């Protein structure tokens, strides 16, 4: 599968694994989520035997164990391992067909809700290895999460998971699998690293973990730092010889916003549309509340009346400013790990926003979705939530429409890009939790964490992170006020 993305990546993985980039905490969280979903899906076929090797990476033992389990009449095998012509496949669940003992049903579990091209190729490769190992596969299916399932009491696994046969696709892909295995083996017998330039394949279907090696000569301020344009546009510029932003000609095919970035980058000066900023500020009314929510999205619903991957709000931070000169006040809420946080979150939020005035959020989409979701879940609070929704003002708008633009924003209007440009003294880099996705996985981790000291540490980090988000908004707002 790696070789399909890039032959060089396959070669480096086999021959220079030490060059691989470190795994980020977000990637680890995705990996753990996949493991948990896989273990739960095994319960769809209870009583199976695990063929995983005792020692990590001892796949020869796993292949042997799988063979023995099949020969001894085992009906359900987890992590069934097969090898054919040096290609290894580890199937999540192998089940003997009831009325036809020589036939098997193969299942591959994914923690996603949709079938992707990569999953189909993965299943096709599994099918190739297993059937060529002499096992008769009656059907091969993907087990995915059903995002329409609503938890009510105990988990109903047959409703939580969708099982979709992909045998037709696997059969159609067999010639392709054959060809790609042949090509991958050729790559691995080469004496030198394949000469492959950086390209869109570095990101598709996944960001390659040898990027640190292959991209090390890409210069600072390269065209890849223009976020918000397509990868293909970045590579068109790069391959045409325009390596850095200052080399891009005045006349080009990029959109208006990308050109605002290029122009401001070349002059080093911010673009400030004072009348537009003034008209934005006129929409805000003191006292101001700067508000930010954090949510987490469990793949397997934990609380009643929630769906897989639903945003569950667990934390907020509010900085409150009575008038322009008043000192800042701070309010926050962080749910206890364990019980459903939604009601307490809402009750505290309504208390902390009971004052009048505008409520500023940065990119209001998430906050609006969460509030509308809470309205559904707790209709008794509907009118209060509606009043709160009416007071929301999106602080992102003057940056999104380029009323204010600084070249350090790199054609993005995310607050993480805005901050180093506008308030260099304030930085996320010293925080252990430095992004919404890390906050999300940290809270999810808290649910199973038992070490008291670790729990306190993570909770402190979460509080610090969310507080930083709203403090950043206060500073950004003050900068807009100064412009007018």
Q: Would you tell me which residues interact with ligand SF4 (CB under 6 A)? A: 6, 8-9, 12, 196, 198, 201-202, 208, 210-211, 214
Distance, CA of 303 to CA of 153 (rounded, Å): 9
Residues in CB range of 480: below 8 A, 6 or more apart = 277, 280, 281, 398, 404
Least gap, CB of 234 to ligand SF4 (angstroms) = 14
Least gap, CB of 252 to ligand SF4 (angstroms) = 25
Structure token digits, residue 86? 């040096």
Least gap, CB of 210 to ligand SF4 (angstroms) = 4
Least gap, CB of 32 to ligand SF4 (angstroms) = 24
Q: Which whole-number Å values give the CA distances from 388 to 6, 115, 382, 395, in the listed order?
A: 50, 38, 10, 16
Structure token digits, residue 135? 């096992």
Distance, CA of 334 to CA of 384 (rounded, Å): 21
Of 12 and 160, the one with the shorter C-beta distance to ligand SF4 is 12
Of 61 and 218, the one with the shorter C-beta distance to ligand SF4 is 218
Residue 269: DSSP 8-state? -
Least gap, CB of 199 to ligand SF4 (angstroms) = 7
Least gap, CB of 214 to ligand SF4 (angstroms) = 3
Least gap, CB of 137 to ligand SF4 (angstroms) = 32
Of 39 and 204, the one with the shorter C-beta distance to ligand SF4 is 204
Of 157 and 193, the one with the shorter C-beta distance to ligand SF4 is 193
The H or E element spanning position 139 is strand 136-145
In the chain, what's the furthest Cα-to-Cα distance?
Answer: 80
- 105 φ, ψ (degrees, to nearest 5): -115, 130
Q: Identify the CA nearest to 462 among candidates 426, 429, 423, 435.
A: 435
Of 203 and 286, the one with the shorter C-beta distance to ligand SF4 is 203
Of 237 and 393, the one with the shorter C-beta distance to ligand SF4 is 237
Distance, CA of 258 to CA of 153 (rounded, Å): 51
Distance, CA of 477 to CA of 106 (rounded, Å): 56
Of 125 and 214, the one with the shorter C-beta distance to ligand SF4 is 214
């Amino acid at each position: 599968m790696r070789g399909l993305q890039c032959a060089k990546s396959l070669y480096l993985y086999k021959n220079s694994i030490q060059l691989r980039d470190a795994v980020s905490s977000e990637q680890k969280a995705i990996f753990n989520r996949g493991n948990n979903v896989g273990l739960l899906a095994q319960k769809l076929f209870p009583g199976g035997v695990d063929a995983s090797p005792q020692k990590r990476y001892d796949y020869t033992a796993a292949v042997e164990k799988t063979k023995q389990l099949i020969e001894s009449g085992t009906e359900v095998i987890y992590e069934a391992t097969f090898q054919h012509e040096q290609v290894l496949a580890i199937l999540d669940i192998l089940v003997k067909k009831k009325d036809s003992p020589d036939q098997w049903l193969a299942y591959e579990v994914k923690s996603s809700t949709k079938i992707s091209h990569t999953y189909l190729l993965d299943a096709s490769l599994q099918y190739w290895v297993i059937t060529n190992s002499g096992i008769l596969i009656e059907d091969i299916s993907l087990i995915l999460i059903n995002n329409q399932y609503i938890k009510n009491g105990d988990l109903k696994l047959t409703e939580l998971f969708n099982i979709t046969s992909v045998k037709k696709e696997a059969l159609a892909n067999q010639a392709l699998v054959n060809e790609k295995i042949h090509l991958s083996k050729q790559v691995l017998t080469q004496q030198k690293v394949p000469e492959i330039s950086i390209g869109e394949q570095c990101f598709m279907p996944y960001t390659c973990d040898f990027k640190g090696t292959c991209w090390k000569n890409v210069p600072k301020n390269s065209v890849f730092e223009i976020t918000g344009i397509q990868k293909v546009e970045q590579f068109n510029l790069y391959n045409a010889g325009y390596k850095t932003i200052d080399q891009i000609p005045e006349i080009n095919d990029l959109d208006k916003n990308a050109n605002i970035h290029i122009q401001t980058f070349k002059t080093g000066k911010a673009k400030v549309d004072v009348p537009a900023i003034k008209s934005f500020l006129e929409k805000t009314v003191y006292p101001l509340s700067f508000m930010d929510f954090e949510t987490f999205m469990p793949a397997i619903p934990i609380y009643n009346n929630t769906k897989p991957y639903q945003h569950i709000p667990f934390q907020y931070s509010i900085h409150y400013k009575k008038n322009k000169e008043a000192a800042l006040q701070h309010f926050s809420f962080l749910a206890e790990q364990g019980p459903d946080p939604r009601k307490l979150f809402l009750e505290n939020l309504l208390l902390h926003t009971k004052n009048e005035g505008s409520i500023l959020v940065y990119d209001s989409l998430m906050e609006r979705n969460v509030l509308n979701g809470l309205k559904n879940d707790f209709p008794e609070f509907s009118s209060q939530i509606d009043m709160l929704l009416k007071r929301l003002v999106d602080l992102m708008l003057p940056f999104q429409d380029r009323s204010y633009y600084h070249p350090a924003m790199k054609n993005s209007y995310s607050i993480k890009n805005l901050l180093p440009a506008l308030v260099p003294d304030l930085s996320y880099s010293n925080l252990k939790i430095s992004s919404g996705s890390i906050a999300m996985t940290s809270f999810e981790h808290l649910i199973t964490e038992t070490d008291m000291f670790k729990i306190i540490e993570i909770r402190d980090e979460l509080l610090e992170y969310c507080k930083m988000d709203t403090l950043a908004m206060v500073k950004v707002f003050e900068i807009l006020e100064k412009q007018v």
